[in-house]
Each structure stands twice: as structure tokens, then as C-alpha cells.
Amino acid sequence: MNDHAIIERFKDGFDFELDAFQIEAAETLLNGRSVLVTAPTGSGKTIVAEFAIFDALDRNLQVIYTTPLKALSNQKYRDLLEQYPAERVGLVTGDQSINPQADVVVMTTEVLRNILYQNPRRMDSVLYVVIDECHYMNDMDRGTVWEEIIIHAPSHLCLVALSATIANADELCNWISSIHNEMKIIEHLERPVPLRHFYFGGEKLYPVFNKKGRLDARLEKLAEKQKSLKKQLHQDRRSGKKTRKPDLIPEGRVIEALEKKQMLPAIYFIFSRKNCDDALSSCLDSGMDLTSKDEKKLIEATIKQLLDENPSLKETGPSTESLLLGLPKGLAAHHAGLVPLLRHLVESLFQRNLVKVVFATETLAAGINMPARTTVISSLSKRTDVGHRVLTVNEFTQMTGRAGRRGMDTEGYCVIIGSLYQSPYQAVELIQGDYDPIASHFTLSYNMVLNLLRNGERKEVREVLQRSFGQYLSNKEMININLLMEQKRLALEQIKSSPESKSYIRHLRSQLRGFGKQIKRQQEIYLKEFDALTRVLQYFGRIKPDGKHWRLTPLGEMTAHIRAQNDLLISLVMESLDYNSFTPVEMAAIFSTLVFEPRRYMEHDLSQCSKKVREFFKDILHIADDLRYVQEEENIHLPLTVEFDFAPLVVLWGNGARWSTLFKFTNMTDGDVVRAMRQLIDLLRQLETMPAAPEEFRKKIREAIPLLDRDLIQSIA
């Protein structure tokens, strides 16, 4: 079979044997079927995507490779540049666009969604769409994007979906098979490097399981002790006795134990940026030093080069200071408060085995290829927007799974830090727990409605909505309701003739009516909302009836081009903005109010914005109120946010301020400022390329971009 010839050629590029699941996936693709590969962290799913690229290029066809995060896209792009000539490889994210027509283009999932809506012909010569980290479909806010690209992917191409282990792979696969083309699940369960779990019980490390796979006897005892201590503590509190918070285990002590047992390098997960920084500082204060002289030299040289190339780094905040002190000693922190340039430095030093311990927030768990020998989990629960909650099994395995480097370690280790509130039993629950299923987060937006209306009439739109995963799950539920209904109908038939059960008959009939209504609702869970959004768009003149169809007005075309949460609001603000009377930087400041997401309450000081800008802010509030009112009338709950707090920083930065000047006006961290500015630049790029917008408007936006996209804000590829 010459099918296998290409697999053989592909294999030649590696100095290791491919795993059975990797070959099975390649064969499936050659047979023209899509694949859903689910395998644990670090098991080599990327090889399957690499095969797809190899095969497509061999046939002179193209591949689109999507990832959920810019950092991942950048990393993938760099990897590809090492394998293929630069002109064959491209990268498109909200940040930048390099070679967008190349044979292999890496992009964020949102970018692909836009292509599918606005330029579907781009897909004509695409053979494979890779969906890396496909389990992101479970993300509350962004999951809908994954559903949309699967719904709209043309059927001539195959999907290469790569996912962490999930509970309902078959459900997902059946759905995709039913709306796209046939997909096969390739499930691989074993980890390439086995993982052993330990519990740090205050003074030392205990293996969680004994040889028989049961909880270690010493930990059983420890758990008993914890229980009675906890009880005592509660009693003391209730009787008004002064109690001390139970001591937390210092990170330094854990690291010493790991070093002794040769369990470094380690990623030490701590779910708060501040606590990551504090852990680093306290290790430094205690004089910890994990590197040799030669290693120090290498690290210091790398740092010096980076600082020489980016002098503004010297102006960044206290997190940077302790990081730069820690790195030569093999210690680092990694979190979103740091500028991307420094996060990247930590990653590359860790990959070179020069950094031995990284205190990291969860951001590090998502797909970046940065394996360690050991992962430490400091807390089995975390604070979220909706209160404190225990980690999910998926979150836990995603983090612990970073341990055990293929080809370097024979085993990986996961250490769970013990405490009164984190017993060995709780650890076992997470280690042995069931994976979470993927749910549907399909959400309608104005942007989606406009793009659907542009390409079809209501009947076709209806079909598209019917193809969502949300509808698929709802249909499955309907099968159960139908079965129940059938039972009730039979029961009704049987007792119809007996006169004494009149009230029971009435009861059955009303139940049947209820089911009937429920089925009607579930048949088209999105249509009602779709119609409501359509009415709002018509009210604001974004669409016009045109015979049986809707036609997008120029303002509608503009709105269809915006991918941001406030899509309609942004276009309404554009509509009423007299752009001739604002400078490019002022325009940027104005639009920042519609994309900025503050992490917490910020001080309000708008004095850096001109009076005219501040006046216009009031208009923005009125426009938002109008829209909110119309939405409420239609019972639509799409969020609308207006935040002025970032605008002064945009004005300062756009007018050439130094990095350190910004922080006289904000309590944001360096990393947050970069993130917010990049988000704004992403929007400005969308506005600048908006087809239906007036040239004068676009010109001003175009001028604003380079004023903001400079120095530490600039992205790294």
C-alpha cells in the first residue's frame, strides 16, 4: 500500500519510534477521516498534527493549525520555522500577521472563525485543520468559538482534534461525525512516563500509595491526626480561645527535600501571583542557591543580553526585581503579572535546564512545552470569580501531568502539600477522580448573527443552529423525554376505560402536555434568542429586510467585522464618533473603554484625558444605556461593559511616555498593562482593516497603532 510509504518517510524524520496511537491516527487521516486524539499531557499528540502537515505539503495542499493561546501559537510557529522554509510557514494572531497565505499557518482559534465567516474560499486548498487543545471547547467564555469552527469547517477537509483526556470523547466525536464528516476517536490512556504521587506531611515526603495501590498506612495515621487537630481547633474557636492559624509549610523546606531526593527541576504551582513572588523572595532570603558556577555564568549572560536589547525592562516593577535576582540561583516565578518577555525568558532557561524551580500560577499548565521532573501542587482548591472551589480533575491532571520528561526521566513526580484542610484522602480523590465531560458553551453574539444572515436566510440559519453541540446534547435529552412520553401514553391507554381513575387520567394528560412543551423548547433552543438579536440589529439599522432575506447595511458590515465582546456597542460608538475632532491617540483611548477588563477595582483618574475626550465618555455611557434598555426589552442578557480606567494610560503611552511613568498612574502590574494594550491593539487592527469604514477613520486608527505598539508592548514571535 503506498499509503504507508508516506508514513515510512515521515518516520525517517525522527530518532525515536512512533507510538501505535500516532501511527493509527496517521493511517486514519490517510483514509480521509478526521481524528479526535485524546491522550494525557506530554504523550506526543503533536506528532499527529505534524504528520498532517507533512502529508498536506507533500500533496501541495495547505494546513491551518489553531491553538487557544497566543503564546502557544508563537511557540508552534517557531517550531515550524525550524522544520520548513520560512516562506511556507505563517502566523496570524490578534497581534501580528506573517505570511497569512502560507501553506501552513498557525493561528488562534478566533482568527480561523473569522476566516470561515468572511472568506470561506480561503479554505479551498486546505486539507487539514488542526485543533490543538480542543478541550478548550469547555471554556465558559471562549468555548463557543470551537463549536463555531467545527460547525462551519467545510466538509472537504479533515479535522485533527487534539485533546487532553475527557469523559465524553465519544459524544463529542459522534456530534462531529454527524455534522462534519466521519471522525474516529484515537484514545491513548497511558502516560509515556509514569507518574508517582507524594504527600508532603509537614516534615517529609510520603508516597501516597503503597505497593498494593492503597493509601499508605502512615498517611492514614496522619489523616487521623489531622482530623483530631482540626476538631480541637474548632472547639477552641467556639469556646472563644485564641487560636493560631495552622502553620503553612514554607516552600524552602519542600524544595530542600526535593533536592535531596534528586527530584528537581520542579514546577511549583501556587494560585496567586503575589504568593508566587513571596515564595521566591523567601527562598532568596534564606540563601537558597541551586546552580553551579558555570550555570550562573550562562544565566547571567542571557539576562544581560535581554536587558541590553530591552532597556525598559529595568523600569518594570518589583516582580521583575526578585525574578532577576532569583534566576542566577536557579529560582524563578512565572505569572501573568510579568511582561511576556520575562515569562519567555523563564521558559527558555527552564527548558535549558538552568532554572531548577519555578513558582507558577496555573497559566503555565496550558500546553506550553515545559516539562519538569516534579510538579508541586500547593493547594487543592483555588479562588475564582464565584468563590473558593476545589480543583477539577482535569485542572489537577493538566498541572500534575507536566511532570516526567520523555527521554529524560524514568518517572515523573507529583507532590501535594499537606495541611489540615488538604488531607491525604482529598488528594486521593483528585488523583483517582473521573474526568469532566465537555459541555456546550455555544453562545449567540451580534457578530455571529450578522455573519449568518449575510450568508443565508432564516431557514439556513436555523439549520446552522441545529448543528451546534448544544443542540446535539439537547436532542439526546429529547430521546429520553420521548421515551417517558411513550410510557405515559401507554399508561393512559390502559386506564382510560376504568371510570374510577379520572383524576389520575387528568394528571397523566397534563404531564404529557408538559413534555410536549418541553420538546418544543428543546427542538430549537437558540432560535428564539436569534430572532431577538435580529430585532435589535434591525432597530439599530444594522440589517434591513430585503424580500425574504435580510441585507446587511454598511454599519452592519462593520459590526460583522468586529470580534470582541462589545461588538455592537463598539460599532454604535463608532457611528456617533466625530473622528475629525480627535487625535489618533484620543481615538485609541476612546476605544480602550470598550475592551478593557480590569482585574480589580482601580483608582479613577481621568485627568490625562482631554476635556473633549471626557465629554465623549459621557456619550458612551448614554449609548450603552440605550443598548442595554433595548436588550432588556428583548430579554437578551449579553454583557455590556464600559471601563474608563485604562484610557489615561493609553494617552500617556501613545504620546511617548516612558514605561515607568505609566505606573505613577495605575496599580496595574507590568504584565496586565501589556495584556490590556495588546487587546486594544487587536481591536484597532480590526477597525483599521474594516472594509466598510470611512477611509479618514481608518487612517487615524492606522496612525495610532505604531504609537502604542512599541517597546515592551511589542509582541514576541
Ligand X SMILES: Nc1ncnc2c1ncn2[C@@H]1O[C@H](COP(=O)(O)OP(=O)(O)OP(=O)(O)O)[C@@H](O)[C@H]1O
Nearer to Mg ion, 28 or 46 (CB): 46
33 interface partner picked from Mg ion, ligand X, none, CB below 5 to 8 A per type: none
Give the footprint of ligand X on this chain (CB under 6 A): 16-19, 39, 41-47, 164, 367, 369, 406-407
406 interface partner picked from ligand X, Mg ion, none, CB below 5 to 8 A per type: ligand X
Q: 333 pairs with which residues across the strands?
A: 359
Q: Give least dist CB 369 to Mg ion, A.
A: 7
Q: Give least dist CB 129 to ligand X, A.
A: 17
Instruction: Compute how many other C-beta atoms are within 10 angstroms of the C-beta atom of residue 687.
Output: 24
Nearer to ligand X, 29 or 647 (CB): 29
Q: Do 402 and 374 form a contact (C-beta atoms < 8 A)?
A: no
Nearer to Mg ion, 371 or 671 (CB): 371
Nearer to ligand X, 16 or 504 (CB): 16
Q: Give least dist CB 365 to ligand X, A.
A: 9
Rama region for 128: left / alpha / beta (φ>0; ψ in -120 to 50; rest): beta
Grid cell digits, residue 126: 486546505
Please give the Cα distance from 272 to 279 (Å, whole number): 11
Please state the φ and ψ torsions of residue 437, each to the nearest 5 degrees.
-80, 160
Q: Give least dist CB 65 to ligand X, A.
A: 12
433 interface partner picked from Mg ion, ligand X, none, CB below 5 to 8 A per type: none
Q: Give least dist CB 553 to Mg ion, A.
A: 43
What is the identity of the amino acid at 558?
A: M
Q: Give least dist CB 136 to Mg ion, A.
A: 12
Q: Give least dist CB 133 to Mg ion, A.
A: 7
- Return the H-helix or E-strand segment holding 521: helix 502-523
Region 578-617 residues binding Mg ion, contact defined as CB under 5 A: none
What is the identity of the amino acid at 162?
A: L
Q: Strand ranges (DSSP E) for 399-480?
A: 412-417
Nearer to ligand X, 74 or 593 (CB): 74
Instruction: Give the SS3 label for residue 134.
Output: helix
47 interface partner picked from Mg ion, ligand X, none, CB below 5 to 8 A per type: ligand X
437 interface partner picked from Mg ion, ligand X, none, CB below 5 to 8 A per type: none
404 interface partner picked from ligand X, Mg ion, none, CB below 5 to 8 A per type: none
Please give the Cα distance from 284 to 291 (Å, whole number): 13
Nearer to ligand X, 53 or 428 (CB): 53
Nearer to ligand X, 21 or 579 (CB): 21
Nearer to ligand X, 397 or 666 (CB): 397
Q: Which single residue brings its beta carbon nearest to ligand X?
A: 44
Nearer to ligand X, 17 or 285 (CB): 17
Q: Give least dist CB 389 to ligand X, A.
A: 23
Q: Do 646 and 676 form a contact (C-beta atoms < 8 A)?
A: yes
Which residues, at least 6 apart from 602, have a Cβ–Cβ distance to it below 8 Å? 645, 666, 667, 668
The site map against Mg ion for 414-443 (x = CB under 5 A) is ------------------------------
Please give the Cα distance from 460 to 454 (Å, whole number): 11
Q: Give least dist CB 192 to Mg ion, A.
A: 13
Please give the Cα distance from 276 to 263 (Å, whole number): 20
Instruction: Give the SS3 label for residue 383.
Output: strand
Angle between helix axes 340-351 and 293-309 (nearest 10 degrees) is: 150
CA 117 and chain centroid, separation: 22
434 interface partner picked from Mg ion, ligand X, none, CB below 5 to 8 A per type: none
Please give the Cα distance from 209 to 197 (Å, whole number): 8
Q: Give least dist CB 371 to ligand X, A.
A: 7
Q: Give least dist CB 405 to ligand X, A.
A: 8
Nearer to Mg ion, 382 or 405 (CB): 405
68 interface partner picked from ligand X, Mg ion, none, CB below 5 to 8 A per type: none
Nearer to Mg ion, 22 or 46 (CB): 46
Nearer to ligand X, 70 or 678 (CB): 70
569 interface partner picked from Mg ion, ligand X, none, CB below 5 to 8 A per type: none
Pairing of strands 195-200, 205-207: antiparallel
Q: Give least dist CB 431 to Mg ion, A.
A: 22
Instruction: Give the SS3 label for residue 201.
Output: coil
42 interface partner picked from Mg ion, ligand X, none, CB below 5 to 8 A per type: ligand X
Q: Is the dihedral of CA 117, 122, 125, 126 positive or negative?
A: negative
Q: Cis link prior to 265 (omega < 30° from 0)?
A: yes
Please give the Cα distance from 295 to 621 (Å, whole number): 56
Q: Give least dist CB 41 to Mg ion, A.
A: 8
The site map against Mg ion for 21-60 (x = CB under 5 A) is -------------------------x--------------
Grid cell digits, residue 199: 504527600
What is the identity of the amino acid at 20?
A: A
Q: What DSSP state is assigned to residue 246?
A: P
Question: What b-and-e string marks burial along 467-481, b requiring 16 or more CB atoms within 10 Å of the CB?
Answer: bbbbbbbbeeebeee
Helices assigned H by DSSP within 540-583? 554-561, 567-576
Q: Give least dist CB 50 to Mg ion, A.
A: 11
- Return the H-helix or E-strand segment holding 358: strand 357-360
- Any long-range contacts for 691-697 (C-beta under 8 Å, 24+ apart)? 691/557, 691/561, 692/554, 692/555, 692/557, 692/558, 692/561, 693/558, 693/574, 694/579, 696/579, 696/580, 697/574, 697/579
Surface-to-core class of residue 194, CB atoms within 10 Å of its CB (0-12 exposed, 13-18 middle, 19+ buried): exposed
Region 361-380 residues binding Mg ion, contact defined as CB under 5 A: none
Nearer to ligand X, 186 or 254 (CB): 186
39 interface partner picked from Mg ion, ligand X, none, CB below 5 to 8 A per type: ligand X
666 interface partner picked from Mg ion, ligand X, none, CB below 5 to 8 A per type: none
138 interface partner picked from Mg ion, ligand X, none, CB below 5 to 8 A per type: none
164 interface partner picked from ligand X, Mg ion, none, CB below 5 to 8 A per type: ligand X
Nearer to ligand X, 33 or 406 (CB): 406
Q: Give least dist CB 177 to Mg ion, A.
A: 23
113 interface partner picked from Mg ion, ligand X, none, CB below 5 to 8 A per type: none
Nearer to ligand X, 405 or 710 (CB): 405
Count interface residues toward Mg ion (CB under 5 A).
1
What is the identity of the amino acid at 462?
A: R
43 interface partner picked from ligand X, Mg ion, none, CB below 5 to 8 A per type: ligand X
Q: Give least dist CB 132 to ligand X, A.
A: 7
Instruction: Give the SS3 label for residue 159.
Output: strand
Q: Do 688 and 353 form a contact (C-beta atoms < 8 A)?
A: no
Give the CA angle between residues 558, 561, 567 to the nearest 5°.
85
Nearer to Mg ion, 337 or 401 (CB): 401
Q: Which residues bind Mg ion (CB under 5 A)?
A: 46
